[in-house]
Each structure stands twice: as structure tokens, then as C-alpha cells.
């Protein structure tokens, strides 16, 4: 490292061996750079001042199981991730349940999973945008919140795309799930 310079490496340098890096001098001028990444872009969201990596591996949520905790409550197990629910009752059949990440309190993880009758309906990540509004990533797409009457319309953030979900009290009443563009985001 040359004196007075800072080296910045790709966040996947250790995990994927990416050699992309930027070297800047003390005036923050780029001195040298290697911009080639041998992997798809990594997505992050900023939540309560902490950057959270967003990556969704669909196969992880294909096989889920429900396990009983030591207190007798059900927990949702998806691969190495655990989710809890504050929904009372000992049965999961025929019920719509929202499960929260077990790291919600300790690490402020915004991820949640909705199930109905023991089947995953969707993986949700709620976040705060740079303008202070609430956003959502669902099924690998970003949505912004628009209050309409007594409900909320979640519209796709891609300009010109007509995809949306309209919900009232957490229940989806209307939806247009077909996007006019390829999927852009992923959630882990």
C-alpha cells in the first residue's frame, strides 16, 4: 500500500475471491482500479444505519419444517434460518401466519415469511428508503408503498411496470404480478 492511499475491495473478496478493487489517494481521487467482477451484483439495503445484504436462494425456502421450541411454540426452519411467530394457538393448519427472523431483535433483521396452511406464500424484506419511506422486496422485486383509501398499494419501483399488490389489514385483495422486466433483486 502506497502511503496516503486507500484500497477498497469488493465485499465478496473473501467469500468468492473477487479481485475487483479501487485505489484512491488522500484527495479521494481514483489512482487505480479493476472494475471486473466475476459474479452478479451484490445488493444491500440500509436499515437503521446498518447495511444488510439482500440475496434470496429459492431452494433454501423450498424445504421448510416446523419445529417445536422448548416452550411448546412452533418455529419455522428454512435451511439454517429460524423464524418465530407471535400468533397464538397450537395449530398451523388452515391459518395465515407471519414469521419473523430470529435475529429481528438482536440484529434488527427486517426479513419475514408468510405461510398459509404450512406453505410459504412469500419472503418479505421491509426497509426504509433513502427518502425515509417504507419499501419492500418481495419475490425478487422492489416495491414502494402508496396509501390508497383504507389500504396500501405496493407498486413496482421499475418505471413503467404495472405490477402491484393492494392490501388491507395484511390481506391481499388485488394484484397484478406480471412485470414488464426481468427480476432484479434477491433476498436471503
Q: What is the pLDDT of residues 15-24, one digit of tens each?
A: 678 888 888 8
Which pTM value belongs to this model?
0.46
Q: Are 83 and 112 in contact (CB under 8 A)?
A: yes
Q: What is the pLDDT of residues 83-109, one digit of tens each?
A: 888 776 666 776 778 888 887 766 667
- Give residue limits of the domains in the chain: 1-39, 52-176
pLDDT of residue 109: 72
57 band by pLDDT with thresholds 50, 70 and 90: very low
List 176's β-bridge partners, or say none.
164
Choose from 12-26, 40-54, 127-141 the range with maximum mean pLDDT: 12-26
Amino acid at each position: 500500500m502506497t502511503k496516503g492511499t486507500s484500497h477498497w475491495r469488493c465485499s465478496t473478496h473473501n467469500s468468492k475471491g473477487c479481485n475487483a478493487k479501487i485505489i484512491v489517494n488522500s484527495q479521494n481521487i481514483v489512482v487505480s482500479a479493476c472494475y471486473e467482477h466475476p459474479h452478479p451484483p451484490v445488493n444491500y439495503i440500509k436499515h437503521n444505519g446498518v447495511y444488510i445484504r439482500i440475496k434470496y436462494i429459492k431452494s433454501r425456502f423450498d424445504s421448510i419444517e416446523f419445529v417445536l421450541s422448548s416452550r411448546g411454540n412452533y418455529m419455522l426452519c428454512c435451511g439454517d434460518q429460524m423464524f418465530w411467530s407471535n400468533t397464538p394457538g397450537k395449530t398451523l393448519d388452515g391459518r395465515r401466519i407471519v414469521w419473523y427472523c430470529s435475529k429481528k431483535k438482536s440484529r434488527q433483521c427486517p426479513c419475514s415469511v408468510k405461510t398459509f396452511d404450512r406453505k410459504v406464500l412469500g419472503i418479505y424484506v421491509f426497509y426504509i428508503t433513502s427518502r425515509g419511506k417504507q419499501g419492500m422486496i418481495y419475490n425478487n422485486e422492489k416495491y414502494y408503498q402508496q396509501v390508497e383509501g383504507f389500504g396500501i398499494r405496493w407498486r413496482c419501483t421499475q418505471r413503467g411496470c404495472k405490477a402491484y399488490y393492494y392490501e388491507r389489514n395484511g390481506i391481499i385483495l388485488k394484484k397484478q404480478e406480471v412485470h414488464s422486466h426481468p427480476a432484479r433483486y434477491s433476498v436471503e
